Amino acid sequence: MPKQTFFHLAQDKQDTLILAAKEEFSRVPLHEASIANIIKSAGIPRGSFYQYFDDKEDLYFYLLSETSKKNTGKFLLILQENNGDLFKTFIESFRFMVSTHKDKDQANFFKNAFLNMNYKLENTLANNVYEENQKSHFENISKSIDKSMLNIENESELHHMVRVMTAVTFHNLVQMFVKDLTAKEAENSYLMQMKLLKRGFCKTEC
């Protein structure tokens, strides 16, 4: 996470550094990214960079964490708009993420992230939904879910159900970039998998 000195910067200076980082991480994957390119584009000395972040990984995972927060906020909003229907919410959220990640200004950043996906990357993008250290946030989401539609017996089962659905969602996002699928192709594959999950997760009237 950023050091407090980063948050003390004027907003325009924060934005300039973040934009420079996104440009570099869009150009190449994390392991090939250069701090020299980031600071040159941002117009700051190398010493200043280390006053804001420990290293390029620290900056990179901050960017992913911010993306996760936005996606999770959107997820909760969609969940409330759909009166707690978990399946409709995941499907609409997937469509939202596809449109965001395929946007020409963001596509290469997410392509590099998803094509080089590992546990830490996936965990960073998804932890605001279900990870143990985000229990309070999960509880807020849980309160908005219509559990009467679901074939579960307790909160623990709901927790694991959401983890499974989240894993399927991220797998399909990764496949979209690995196989260079169109938004429609990615959605069709995702809908088929969610349909299969729904047969097992929902009660007969769902």
Confidence of residue 132 (pLDDT cuts 50, 70, 90): very low
38-78 pLDDT, tens digit per residue, is 999 999 999 999 999 999 999 999 998 888 888 888 999 99
Residue type, 165: M
Q: Which residues contact 206 (CB under 8 A, 6 or more apart)?
A: 87, 149, 150, 151, 198
- Which ranges of 55-106 would DSSP assign to H, the alpha helix? 56-81, 86-101
The pLDDT, as a whole number, for residue 107 is 86
Instruction: Report the distance separating Cα 43 and Cα 73, nearest Å.
Output: 32
The pLDDT, as a whole number, for residue 123 is 65
With CA atoms as reference, report the closest residue to 140 among 125, 153, 155: 155
Instruction: Report the distance separating Cα 169 and Cα 172, nearest Å.
Output: 5
pLDDT at 153 over 60: yes
How far apart, in Å, are the Cα atoms of 116 and each of 29, 38, 119, 135?
A: 7, 20, 10, 28
Tokens of 187: 């959605």
Ranking 31-40, 131-140, 185-194 by mean pLDDT, the lowest is 131-140
* Whether 114 contacts 128, CB under 8 Å: no
